[in-house]
Structures are given as structure tokens and as C-alpha cells.
Amino acid sequence: MEVKAKWAGDMRFAAENETGGGVMIDTGVKYGGSGKNPTPMETVIMALASCSGMDMVMILKKMRVDLKKLEIKVDARRRDKEPSYFEDIKMIFTASGEGLTQEQADKAVKLSVDKYCSVSAMLRDKATISYETIVE
């Protein structure tokens, strides 16, 4: 896997994967950025939400659940001193689907966050990751 990040002026970087797909990464006004694009640390928790969400979609598909909605909210707290990595991460999964039970959703989230999601595996060394599942 290879990515590149090209400086785009001020504190912005255009990050791309090998196929040219990408995202503009910035920082807040306080640090000389525009504050209009995700910061590097925001992209990390976006990756966590997306990674665990993709796992959950696959797991529920194997359970033959007709998933209609899945939203993952992540609330992450960073430590006060440098480097200010994440210490506590709370994930809230809200899902709905034809025949989806609380038990199925709980199992899918647990398997994703605790076993399959590569991003959560990397973050677990520094952060406590907790999660909640809501079935609508």
C-alpha cells in the first residue's frame, strides 16, 4: 500500500492513494490552517468509523440481515500533553434493517471492533475503545 501527500499551500495537504482517490487534509485556524477540511487526527477516527462500519456491513450480510441504515458516531478524547494521541474513544453504532435484532447488531459490532477492524487494532495500544449499539 502506498499513499502520497502533496503540500497544497498554507497547512493543507492533498493526500492520494495509488489509484488517485484522495482527500484534502488541513488543520484548524489556530494552527495556521483554514479549518475547512479534516485534520490528520480527524481522518484517523474517520478511518476507524469507516473500517468498523465496513466490517459490520459484511458481518450483517452474512447473518442475512437486510441493512437499511448504519451510522457510526465517534467521540474521541486526546491526552493533554504531546504527543496528544487518543486516550479514550467512544463509538456509537446506530443501525436499522429488516429483521435486525439487538443481539445481531451487538455481535457484529463486537466482532468488528474487537477482532476484525485493523484501525481499532492499531489504536487499542494507546486508547481505550468502548462502544454502544442502537437498533432503530
pLDDT (tens place) for every residue of the chain, 136 residues total = 999 999 999 999 999 999 999 999 999 999 999 999 999 999 999 999 999 999 999 999 999 999 999 999 999 999 999 999 999 999 999 999 999 999 999 999 999 999 999 999 999 999 999 999 999 9
103 closest CA partner among 54, 48, 65:
65
What would the DSSP string read from start to end of 22-68?
A: EEEE---GGGTS-SSS--HHHHHHHHHHHHHHHHHHHHHHHTT-EEE
Backbone angles phi, psi at 36, to 5 degrees: -95, -20
3 state SS of 84? coil
The H or E element that residue 108 is part of is helix 102-111
